[in-house]
Amino acid sequence: MALDTVTPTFPSEQFCRSVVRFLDALEYEDDNLTLDERVQGLRYVHSKTAEYFTQALPRETLKRVHPERIAAVTRTISHFIIYCWSRVPRDVQVEISIYLSIINVLDDEINADPNEQMGSFWVDLLQGKQQKHPFWLLMNARLPTLLSHYGSFCSFNIMRCTFDYFEGCWIEQHNFRGYPGSDRYPDFLRRLNCLGGAVGGTMFPAVDFDDQKLFREFACVMAQIDGPVALMNDLFSFYKEFNLDEANLVSNWCAVDGISLDQALERLTDETIHACQQILSVFKDKDPSVLATIRTFIRGYVTWHFCDLRYRLREVYDAAKDHGPVGAKFRQYFEKALDVGWVDLDQWTLTPPENHLSLNGAEVDIDPAQELNPAQVNGAEISEAPAAHEAIAVGG
C-alpha cells in the first residue's frame, strides 16, 4: 500500500522538533503493559463495549447512526482505555469504554443544533422525566452503572464534565473561533470539551482509592488534569488538523491573539510540557498510587497517539527522514512507541463468519483487504482499520 505523504505546506520539521522537545522533557517511556496484557485487555474491553451497542435502548436510539461508525468508535475507544487506564480493574475499564463510546458515537448529534431538544432539559432532569436528546437518553440510562464504581467526589466530577462536554459541543457547532481580544475564549472552550474531569474522575475507582482520604489529592488532580488531557492531544493532532477550516485551540489562539500558526505551535509545545511536568511534580511526594496512576495515563496517552492511525503520524515519520537529527529523533520515538504499543487488529477484534456482522439491526460487510491494510514502518507491519480517521472526543 502506498503511504500518504505529508501535506506540502505543513511545517513538518518544526512539528518534529516540537514533539521531540515534549517527549525529551517528559522522558517518555511506556512500561505500562506487556504485549500479552494489551492483547487480552483489548479483546475483553472491545467485546463488551461492542456488546453494549446490541442492546435494545442503544439500538433504538442509534438506529440512524451508521453501523460502521459504531464499530469504528468501539475499536478506537477500547484501544484508548487499555493504553491509558491500564491500572483500572477490567470491569471498570468496560464501563469507561461504554461511556466514552456513547459520547463519540453521538458526537455528530451534539454538533447539530440541540436547542429545540434541550428546551425542557432542566425541568425533565429535575422531575425525573425522560430526556429528548439521544445523548442524554443513553447517558441517563448508563451513567448510574459507571458512577457506582466511584466515590462521591470523583462521581461529581464525572457528571460535571459530562455537562461541560455537551456545552462545548453546542458551542463548537457554530465553528466560532472567538472575537479578537477575547483571550480567555480558546482555553474556556478547550476546557469544556476536553473531558479532563471525566478522565481525572475515572482514573480512581473506589475499589482502589478512598476519595475522602485522598480528597486534597483528587481536588488538585481535577485542577491540573485538563492541561495534559487537552494539550497532549492538541499537539499530536496538529498534523491531522492542519489546514482544516475548523475551530480548535490552535486556530482560536491565532484568531483572538493575532499570532501565526508557527507561534501557536511553539506556545502549544511550551504549555504541553509545562502541564505534564507540573502535574507530575505536584504529586511526586504525595500518595504514590495517585502519582503512578497519573504517570501511567500520560505514558499510555503518548503511545496511543502514535499507534492510532487517525493521527496520521506515520506520514510525518516518513517525511522526518529529511529533517536531520531532529527528524531522526522523532523517528526513534515513533518506533519506540510502536515497539511497545502496536497490536494488529486481527489479534483483538472478532472476525465474524463470512466477513459480516449484525450491528444496530443492519448487516455490516467487512472487506478483509480494507480491514487490514498493511504498511511497513521500521520493519514492522502495521495495519489500518476502516474509518481510521474518525473524530474522537477527549481531545479531538
pLDDT per residue as tens digits for the range 55-81: 999 999 999 899 999 999 999 999 999
Taking the alpha carbons at both ends of the chain, their separation in whole angstroms is 27
On whether residue 394 sits in a domain, the answer given is no
Choose the weakest-confidence range: 175-189, 241-255, 382-396: 382-396
Residue 1: band (very low, low, confident or very high) from pLDDT cuts 50, 70, 90: very low
**Residues of the domain holding 180:** 12-384
Q: What is the mean pLDDT of residues 308-334?
A: 96
Q: Which residues of 332-353 are buried (b: 16+ CB within 10 A; e: fewer)?
A: ebbbbbbebbbbebeebbeeee
Cα–Cα distance for residue pair 340/321, rounded to 1 Å:
22
Q: Is residue 21 part of a domain?
A: yes
Q: Is there a binding annotation on residue 266?
A: no
R_g (Cα) of the chain, nearest Å: 20
Q: What is the dihedral of CA 218, 221, 222, 226, to 10 degrees?
A: -160
- Grid cell locating 10: 505543513
Model pTM greater than 0.85?
yes
Please choose, from the candidates 112, 138, 290, 272, the residue with its C-alpha nearest in 3D space to the C-alpha of residue 214: 290
User: For residue 122, what are the contacts with CB-CB under 8 A and spacing of at least 6?
Assistant: none
d(CA 390, CA 300) in angstroms, rounded, equals 20
* 208 marked as part of a ligand binding site: no
Task: Please check whether residue 149 lies inside any domain of the structure.
Answer: yes
The residue behind cell 464501563 is 95
Q: Is 381 helix (H, G, I), strand (E, B) or coil?
A: strand
Sign for the pseudo-dihedral over CA of 206, 210, 215, 216? negative
Q: What percent of the chain stands above pLDDT 90?
A: 66
How many Cβ atoms from other residues are within 10 Å of residue 125's Cβ?
Answer: 12
Cα 26 to the center of its chain, rounded Å:
19
CATH code of the domain covering residue 45: 1.10.600.10
Query: Per the structure, how many domains does the chain have?
Result: 1
Per-residue pLDDT averaged across 210-236, rounded? 96
In a domain, 3, yes or no: no
pLDDT digits (tens, 9 = 90+) for 74-114: 999 999 999 999 999 999 999 999 999 999 998 766 556 78
> Can you tell me the distance from the alpha carbon of 38 to that of 168, in angstroms, rounded to the nearest whole number?
32
Residue 209, in any domain of the structure:
yes
Tell me if 191 is assigned to some domain.
yes
Give the Cα separation of 77 and 189 in Å (integer): 23
Which residue type does 369 have?
A: A
Q: Is 109 annotated as a binding residue?
A: no
Q: How far apart are CA 358 and CA 68, in angstroms?
A: 11
47 is in an annotated binding site: no
Residue type, 19: V
∠ CA 16-73-155 to the nearest 5 degrees? 95
What pLDDT is attached to residue 380?
Answer: 43
d(CA 302, CA 341): 10
Q: Would you say 241 is a known binding-site residue?
A: yes
Q: 227 near 270, Cβ under 8 Å?
A: no
Q: What is the largest CA-CA distance in the chain?
A: 63
Contacts of residue 14, defined as CB under 8 A and 6 or more positions apart, other chains included, come to 262, 265
Would you say 237 is a known binding-site residue? yes
Asked if the structure places residue 131 within a domain, the reply is yes
> Alpha-carbon distance 213 to 377, whole Å?
47
Identify the top-confidence range among 192-196, 334-338, 347-351: 334-338
Cell 462545548, residue located: 168
The pLDDT-based confidence of 388 (bands split at 50, 70, 90) is very low
CB 25 within 8 A of CB 71: no
- Whether 52 maps to a domain, the answer reads yes
Which letter, b or e, does each residue of 187-221 get, where b requires 16 or more Cβ atoms within 10 Å of its Cβ? bebbbbbbbbbbbbbbbbbeeebebeebeebbebb
